Homo-oligomer: A and B are copies of this chain.
Amino acid sequence: MKWSIAEASFSMQSDKLTFERSYPPIERKLTGFSPATLQAYLDGEFVETRNLVKSIITRPEFRHFEGPDLHEYRRQVLIWLRTISDAGLGRLFLPPELGGEANLRKLMAVVEVLSFHDGSLLIKLGVQFGLFGGSIHQLGTGYHHQKYLPKATACQLFGGFAMTEIGHGSNVQALETTAVYDSEHRDFIINSPSHSSGKTFIGNAAVDGQFMVVFAQLHIGAANHGVHAFVVPIRDETGQPLPGVTIEDNGLKLGLNGVDNGRIWFQNTRVPKAELLNRFAEVTDDGQYRSEIKSNNSRFFTMIGTLVNGRITMALAANNMAKSALTIAIRYAARRRQFGGGVQEMLVLDYPATQRRLMPLLANAYAFDFAVKRLARIREQSRGRGTSARSIESLAAAIKAFSTWTAIHTIQVCRESCGGEGYMFVNRFAALKADADIFTTFEGDNTVLMQLVAKNLLGELKDQLKEMNPGRIARFFLDQRLRALKKRFIGLTADTASLLNPEQQLAHFRFRESTLLLRSGGAFRRLTRQKDMDAYSAFSRLQPELLELAEAYAERQVLESFIEAVAHVPEQTLQPPLRKLGDLFALYHLERHKGWFLENGFMPGKRARAITSQVTRLCQEVRQDAVALVDAFGIPDQCLGAPIALG
């Protein structure tokens, strides 16, 4: 039994009836810039690749899946993935030495366009090329690359990334799965010693996957060398689980039901020694463990750190899903009228409450677009160069958490602003909400990621203090506090000009971040000097403050990206609308944090109130360009789908 999605126009059931057949026109105002020019700036490079992906996902056979049968949905997504791969897009994920490009920014262009279409396809592609292929690429060496990557990127072999266990999702260093080296047979024996050691939520596990990159504790004799990754076959050619491998379907999920997630337990599964992904560690035939990174802990974080691309692409994908939601909500508000006298009722978009609801979220979407793309550039430039892995890890973690939380919020507000129409499946919020929901959890739980950011920031502060003696450190904190007091009212006055000065905005963001860092650092130092207080307990105690610090760091990074993007705009007509969006982003977030500035005496009440007025005014101004600003996202009608947003 299939559901037919209601058409935008009314399908008449009696030819005696004559009805108007469509929604009112979307109000499209004259703007001082061309949406196409703006789109070109947002898209930047790889226009051909983008167009290729768009040409595929707008084909009739890529029509949004609308049936209730999830097995059919999974099959559909598999077919879509093969189509994408057959078009040569899988090859992009191959390393250059195998004829591919492995160009992060180009891959991101693919992900970005796919995010406009179907969440399950996006994630299935991410599992196959990004997690399975990517982990083999990053953690393996030539043997693994040649053996698996050409087939994986051509969808001739399906695989997954088996890290998470039932008992350990965030604390993956404590995984229970074991890989015991058997020097006699020169292989590893993989075991799941308990129920809770079962791998879970593993994409491609329930149906399609033949191989898994399995993370397990590497034991040689009595020694545990920590978590390592192994390529492990789980199914034979007929699709049956191999002996010793138990697979369970994770079943129905809140969203992403086109992806076959499953649980896996291993019982004495043997893989040849060569299947250890050995970029960072090797085991000799006779069972000697070799690694250039001596500490298990450092090695683990080095391995995990190479997987940062997943976080970058998920930040991008979440933001692009928010763009779909914004496009639907803003276009609908530009055609829907309700209440108000006059010849016609008032456009919903003309209500200040609507503007206040949607315009800051539109500014966020632009902000994250710039921030994620800058992050990808930094990541690319860092290859083999000096930029520290820790700083990229922090940046990626912060942007991923901030952008995915924002996307969830944005999609929800957009759904509500479309009222009952927003609740209809055909208008796409159902899928956007459901699919994006898990983005705050996977590729690192957001709360855990934000703590990682804070930990790294505290670590950098500690490095700064390392060479000081205790007296010097005490003086350092005192100096910083005095400097903060002197900085009161950071130089900004409440007049419009200074509130709209990007340098002044940034000064506020930086001041907040550095003040929070110094306070947390000081508090951490005081706590750890108490007896019976280890670093972990002190860190846990400070969680609320540290999460605030990480958020401040993320906001500052995003504002910097926005200001940079406005400065580098290639066409002068794009300056005014982007400046307004940038101002709105900055002042909206300052408004959110005004309580903090005020309670610490860092801002006079008059300025806080002026910020609120400016946000309201900017929302009104951005509203004038709003439809053009979402048009510039360049989302194909076929992907957008929602009848309330088309025409």
Contact = CB atoms under 8 A, between A and B. Distances in A.
Contacts of A422: 254, 441
Interface string A1-26: 10111100011111011011100000
A569 to B, nearest CB: 31
Contact of A446 (B345, B408, B416, B609): B416
A437 to B, nearest CB: 7
A6 B249 contact: yes
A356 B356 CA distance: 27
Given A251-B424, A598-B595, A419 B433 contact: no
A200 interface: yes
Interface string A598-615: 111100010011000000
Nearest to A267: B17
A275 interface: no
Contact of A438 (B251, B423, B442, B451): B423
A443 to B, nearest CB: 11
A252 B249 CA distance: 25
B1 A69 contact: yes
A608 B598 contact: yes
A246 B10 CA distance: 11
A534 interface: yes
Interface in A482-503: none
A425 B425 CA distance: 18
A382 interface: no
Contact of A254 (B339, B430, B541): B430
B71 A543 contact: no
Given A338-B168, A601-B605, A345 B594 contact: no
A129 interface: no
Contacts of A6: 248-251
A77 to B, nearest CB: 16
Contacts of A14: 246, 267
Nearest to A451: B353
Contact of A346 (B424, B534, B540): B540
Interface residues of A, number: 97
Nearest to A604: B599
Given A16-B267, A430-B254, A433-B254, A543 B594 contact: no
Interface in A396-448: 408, 412, 415-416, 419-420, 422-426, 429-430, 433-434, 437-438, 440-442, 445-447
A610 to B, nearest CB: 10
A536 B342 CA distance: 11
Copies in the complex: 2
A230 B252 CA distance: 43
Contacts of A542: 352
A308 interface: no
A119 to B, nearest CB: 12
Contact of A201 (B3, B338, B420, B547): B420
A183 interface: no
Interface in A518-561: 534, 536, 540-544, 547
A568 interface: no
A351 interface: yes
Taking each of A195, A248, A265, A542, which has the highest tally of chain B beta carbons within 10 Å of its own beta carbon?
A: A195
Interface stretch (A40-48, A51-59, A169-177): A169-177
Interface in A237-284: 246, 248-255, 265, 267
A262 to B, nearest CB: 10
Contacts of A426: 251-252
A217 interface: no
Nearest to A432: B254
A248 B17 CA distance: 14
B353 A544 contact: yes
A438 B427 CA distance: 14
Contacts of A3: 70, 251-252
Nearest to A339: B171
Contacts of A255: 423, 430
Nearest to A22: B195
A68 interface: yes
A168 B337 CA distance: 9
B194 A19 contact: yes
A71 B3 CA distance: 9
A10 B20 CA distance: 56
A595 B608 contact: yes
Contacts of A600: 605, 609
A341 interface: yes
Contacts of A420: 164, 169, 200-201, 438, 441-442
16 contacts: A1-B69, A3-B252, A4-B251, A5-B252, A19-B198, A68-B69, A169-B338, A251-B426, A254-B415, A254-B425, A352-B541, A352-B542, A356-B543, A408-B412, A423-B437, A594-B598
Across the A-B interface, the 8 shortest Cβ-Cβ residue pairs? A598-B598, A19-B195, A252-B425, A595-B595, A599-B608, A254-B430, A599-B605, A353-B543
